């Protein structure tokens, strides 16, 4: 604690790159080794009157041996873009790891040396994931302690979990792409809808847990794989589309399977009034677009058959659409 504010774990110097690039196993292990080595001497002298270098080295090695596995487990979970209950850490061991990082940070600050920045950054990422998952009703697989509850995410937190530069997020706030309050940040509902449209967002799976959260093509592609309403037909690699057929009836749909910004569907040979009331966005007739010939060829359509396009904003509207197309 400093000036009544929680310790800043996320490191601005590490922003602008993907978390996987910043938090490599090698870099984290090296910081853990340094932390153990730097702490072993002072801790040994505080608890043992002897000053045997061999015992100090053994203590440092023991710290590394005990903490390496929880470090790698925490890394796996913090960088994982989906839910996985198999990644767990014993709460007491996790607490020991956090205390180790905190002590190493304090010691480095006292001696004006570089602290365990990546270890701190990792804990900060895990805390953000915990907050976001708990917000939508998920039970985080790793029960990491949280600071005093904050109403939203700040600019540094948003940049960290999306692999963005700080200036990029600041510019988005200044353009009012998301509502930002100085002392509260961006409300979690709003920030989830913004972050899912960034290709580097680590935890897009969170948006697929509710029916009213913003989605994109990648999420919907995974959702259709689990859906009983459709069956996969084929990929159209050159157009980055996946083609699906309704199990009931002959209707088909094509999805921008790698899309991040939006979920875009192409709907061949459909009457627009059938789906006009569902809440779809940008429902447009693309039959005569310049790119229509490529799509017609890929979808096997004749020149007289229509081709409509729409954006599907949420899973709730996707469910309604699939139900309507099955009729």
Q: What pLDDT digit, counting tens, does each position of 199-234 carry?
A: 999 999 999 998 999 999 999 999 999 999 999 999
Rounded CA-CA distance 76/129 in Å is 12
Q: Are 195 and 237 members of one domain?
A: no
Q: Are 90 and 179 members of one domain?
A: no
> Could you give the C-alpha distances from 76 to 27, 44, 150, 278, in angstroms and in order?
14, 31, 25, 39
Q: 20 or 43: whose pLDDT is higher?
A: 20
The reply to whether 163 falls in a domain is yes
The reply to whether 66 falls in a domain is yes
Domain boundary among 85, 103, 135: 135
pLDDT tens figures, 84-101:
667 788 899 999 999 999
Rounded CA-CA distance 150/15 in Å is 21
What the block records as the tokens of 241 is 């589309």
| pLDDT in the model for residue 85 | 63
Residue 1 pLDDT class (50, 70, 90 cuts): very low
What the block records as the tokens of 142 is 């790793």
Q: 85 or 309: whose pLDDT is higher?
A: 309
The reply to whether 208 falls in a domain is no
| pLDDT in the model for residue 41 | 72
Domain boundary among 83, 106, 135: 135
Q: Are 225 and 178 members of one domain?
A: no
Q: 64 or 247: whose pLDDT is higher?
A: 247
Q: Are 32 and 130 members of one domain?
A: yes
Q: Are 39 and 102 members of one domain?
A: yes
> Could you give the C-alpha distances from 44 to 41, 67, 68, 313, in angstroms and in order?
5, 18, 20, 58
Q: Are 168 and 242 members of one domain?
A: no
- Among 81-85, 89-93, 159-163, which is the least confidently predicted range? 81-85
Q: 287 or 82: whose pLDDT is higher?
A: 287
The reply to whether 168 falls in a domain is yes
pLDDT score of 49 more than 90? no
Residue 203 near residue 218, CB atoms below 8 Å: no
Q: 44 or 207: whose pLDDT is higher?
A: 207
pTM of the model: 0.87
Place of tokens 């309704």: 246
Minimal CA–CA distance to 200: which of 216, 222, 181, 224?
A: 216
| pLDDT in the model for residue 203 | 94
Rounded CA-CA distance 222/314 in Å is 14
Residue 170's CB is within 10 A of a number of other CB atoms, namely 15
Residue 292 pLDDT class (50, 70, 90 cuts): confident
| pLDDT in the model for residue 83 | 65
Query: In the chain, pLDDT over 90 holds for what percent of residues?
Result: 61
The reply to whether 212 falls in a domain is no
Mean pLDDT of 278-284: 94
Q: Are 174 and 62 members of one domain?
A: no
Residue 26 near residue 9, CB atoms below 8 Å: no
pLDDT tens figures, 109-133:
888 888 899 999 999 999 999 999 9
Q: Are 165 and 228 members of one domain?
A: no
Q: How many domains does the chain have?
A: 3
Residue 310 pLDDT class (50, 70, 90 cuts): very high
The reply to whether 105 falls in a domain is yes
The reply to whether 2 falls in a domain is no
Residue 4 pLDDT class (50, 70, 90 cuts): very low
Q: Are 230 and 287 members of one domain?
A: yes
> Could you give the C-alpha distances from 7 to 11, 124, 146, 161, 168, in angstroms and in order?
11, 10, 11, 18, 24
Domain boundary among 135, 168, 188: 135
Average pLDDT of the chain to the nearest whole number: 88
The reply to whether 176 falls in a domain is yes
Rounded CA-CA distance 56/41 in Å is 6
Instruction: Give residue 292's domain range.
Output: 217-325
pLDDT score of 55 more than 50? yes
Mean pLDDT of 281-286: 92
Could you tell me how far CA 307 lies from the centroid of its own chain?
A: 34
Q: Are 83 and 172 members of one domain?
A: no
Residue 6 pLDDT class (50, 70, 90 cuts): low
């Amino acid at each position: 604690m400093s000036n009544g504010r929680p310790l800043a774990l996320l490191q601005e110097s590490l922003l602008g790159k993907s978390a996987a690039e910043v938090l490599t196993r090698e870099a984290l292990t090296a910081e853990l080794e340094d932390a153990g080595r730097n702490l072993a001497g002072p801790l040994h002298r505080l608890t043992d009157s002897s000053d045997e270098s061999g015992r100090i080295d053994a203590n440092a090695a023991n710290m590394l041996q005990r903490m390496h596995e929880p470090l790698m487990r925490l890394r796996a979970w913090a960088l994982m873009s989906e839910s996985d209950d198999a990644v767990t850490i014993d709460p007491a061991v996790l607490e020991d790891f956090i205390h180790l990082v905190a002590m190493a940070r304090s010691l480095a600050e006292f001696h004006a040396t570089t602290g365990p920045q990546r270890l701190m950054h990792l804990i900060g990422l895990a805390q953000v994931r915990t907050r976001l998952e708990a917000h939508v009703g998920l039970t985080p697989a790793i029960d990491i302690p949280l600071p005093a509850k904050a109403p939203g995410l700040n600019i540094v937190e948003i940049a960290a979990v999306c692999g963005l530069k700080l200036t990029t997020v600041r510019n988005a706030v200044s353009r009012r792409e998301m509502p930002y309050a100085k002392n509260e940040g961006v409300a979690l509902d709003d920030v989830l809808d913004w972050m899912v449209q960034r290709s580097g967002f680590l935890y897009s799976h969170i948006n697929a847990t509710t029916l009213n959260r913003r989605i994109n093509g990648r999420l919907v592609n995974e959702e259709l794989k689990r859906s009983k309403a459709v069956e996969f037909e084929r990929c159209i690699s050159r157009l980055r589309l996946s083609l699906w057929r309704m199990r009931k009836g002959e209707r088909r749909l094509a999805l921008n399977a790698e899309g991040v910004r939006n979920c875009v569907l192409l709907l061949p040979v459909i009457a627009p009034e059938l789906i006009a009331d569902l809440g779809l966005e940008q429902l447009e007739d693309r039959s005569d677009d310049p790119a229509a010939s490529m799509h017609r060829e890929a979808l096997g359509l004749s020149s007289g058959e229509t081709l409509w396009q729409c954006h599907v904003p949420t899973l709730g509207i996707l469910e309604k659409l699939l139900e309507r197309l099955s009729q």
